[in-house]
Structure 1
Amino acid sequence: MTQLSGFHRDRIRSVLSASLLMPVITIKHADDAVPLCQALFDGGIRVMEITLRTEHGLKAIKSVREALPEAWVGAGTVTSLAQYRQAEAAGAQFIVTPGLTEALLEFSLTSEAPLLPGVSTASELLLGYGLGYREFKFFPAEVAGGTRALKALNGPFPDVTFCPTGGIRRETARDYLALSNVQTVGGSWLTPDEVVATKDWARITEIAAGSLSDIS
């Protein structure tokens, strides 16, 4: 059986270790992508997950890659092989899925953009574990049991590292990061809709810097 390569694991580890917080970014207006991500970068964020929840996601990934070469830029909410291929072509450096399928797991084994597969149960985790995956997104974190669930999963899977996402707030990020099996935390609180709508990029930088200060 083909196993996940060392290259893929090293790449995902590099992504997760680059920033304690990973903003989950949904671009509603194409022109917002670069200034929004620049504002996050200025606030200390080094990893950007740009979701494919809108028609602007792929173009945003390409634009941000060009504008911020020092940042890690990945595609989130990838749910099909077609989207995976499109995200790769747009320049995504990593892929994040809300769940997993055997097709996605196997495609990633030879992909240029490594996968951070989403799981919410031990059974899902085992599908990836058997192929050599040891880094996973835990989603939706709060609904799926939060910190208590992650503590329980640490027993049978002591060598697995998580990036929990879903329902996590600025006030609760520290609780997740205190766990030994959590490397980074993802969330949308870093890019509030009302702030992005007014293009208050200075405020985005303040939120990013403040959130990082909260967990330091």
Structure 2
Amino acid sequence: MQAADLIKALQTVRVVPVIDPKSQADCLAAVDALAAGGATAIEITLRSDIAYDTLKAVRASHPDIVLGAGSVMDPETYEKAVSIGADFTISPGRCLALEAHVAGKSVAHVPGVVTPTEIIAARQAGQTLLKFYPSEAAGGASALKDLGRIFPDVLMMPSGGIKESKLHEYAALPGVLSVGGSWMYAEGGKYRSALDMGKVMAQSTTTMREFDRS
């Protein structure tokens, strides 16, 4: 999936659950519940030994979901993620070797930024779809509002510390393509019930979709 296709897919939902799997079974159950609540895109972070097999299992069980691989920071991880079914990869920061490697590839990579200097460098490299991380620690929607005035051609995928109560602030910003996080499936460090996951996912999507930008 190239960047233009990813943008088009995320515009319809604007919420991306980000799961750091500790148990493959729990992750698969969460994906089932989130999909039932309307999730059409999910990110699995590649931070643990079970993450790759979990990503592969999610791909097999939900072939229609836009599946992202997170914490991808080198060409080797990118290639492995793509080989097991990732539709896109995403990173907390920029890796120039990785960005050079993915140039011309059919699977988009989304670099991470937090400062104007990093955004300027990314734009000069032809990157206008970026991850803003860690969002809340870096100023959240308020910071993105200011950055959006300076960089109106950039679309952001913020994540990091975002709560459901903050979604209306992000939804108001034209430069925010989607928001990512764990609030829709976890609370207080524990997974929600399947019913709650579906409910919060649906509520979150409604919040992000309903804001009138006209």
Q: TM-score with structure 1 length normalisation?
A: 0.89
2:205 counterpart residue number: 212
Partner residue of 2:190 out of 169, 190, 194: 194
Distance in 2, matches of 1:214 and 1:15, equals 17
**1:23-172 to 2 correspondences below 5 Å:** 23-172=17-166
Q: Distance between the aligned counterparts of 1:129 and 1:41, measured in 2?
A: 33
The 8 Å contact of residues 12 and 115 in structure 1, kept in 2 or not, is answered as no
CA displacement 1:105-132 (0-9 Å, x = unmatched): 1112133321111100111112221122
Change (3 A) 1:214 1:13: closer
Name the CA shift for 1:155/1:213 in 2 (closer, same or farther; >3 Å): closer
* 1:175 partnered with 2:164: no
CA–CA distance in 2 between the matches of 1:102 and 1:9? 18
- The answer to whether the 8 A contact 1:53-1:77 is kept is yes
Structure 2 gaps, min length 5: none
Instruction: Say if 1:136 and 1:160, in contact at 8 Å, map to a contact too.
Output: yes
CA offsets 1:133-177 (integer angstroms, 9 cap, x no match): 111111011111212221221222111111111111000011011
Segments of structure 1 that go 5 or more residues without pairing to the other structure are 1-6
SS in 2 for 1:45: coil
Residue 16 (structure 2) pairs with residue 22 (structure 1): yes
When the two chains are superposed, the root-mean-square deviation of aligned CA atoms in Å is: 1.7
Alpha-carbon distance in 2 for matches of 1:112, 1:28: 30
Q: What is the aligned-residue identity percentage? A: 33
Aligned residue pairs, count: 207
**7, 21, 45: which one aligns with 1:13:** 7
Of 74-83 and 44-53, the range deviating more from structure 2: 74-83
Give the TM-score, by structure 2 length: 0.90
